[in-house]
Amino acid sequence: MSEAERIVVLAGSLAQFRRWCRLAGLDPESRHITYARDVQALRGRRGARVVRYGTWRLRSDARALDLAAQALEG
């Protein structure tokens, strides 16, 4: 990961987010990595790489999160 690269992680839970970070060798506390706990966490972000991990599709807000994430990616 470059120093300026921003990553947003859609995960089924905070535990899954932390697991993804550990597997990717990244610090979940880094200011360059964001757990998408809700749609508001994605507002105002631009140019981020979006990672979808675990059971995020089972979340009640999965559709809204995915639409917001697609706007970040595009």
| C-beta of residue 53 within 8 angstroms of C-beta of residue 16 | yes
Q: What is the DSSP string of 31-59?
A: TTEEE-SSGGGGTT--SEEEEEETTGGGS
**Using one digit for the tens of pLDDT, what is the confidence trace for 19-54?**
999 999 999 999 999 999 999 998 888 888 999 999
Q: Using an 8 Å Cβ cutoff, are 34 and 8 in contact?
A: yes
H/E stretch holding 8 reads: strand 6-11
CA 59 to chain centre: 13
Query: Nearest CA to 70 among 41, 50, 55, 44?
Result: 50
pTM passes above 0.85: yes
pLDDT at 2 over 90: no
Q: Tell me the domain boundaries of the chain.
A: 6-73
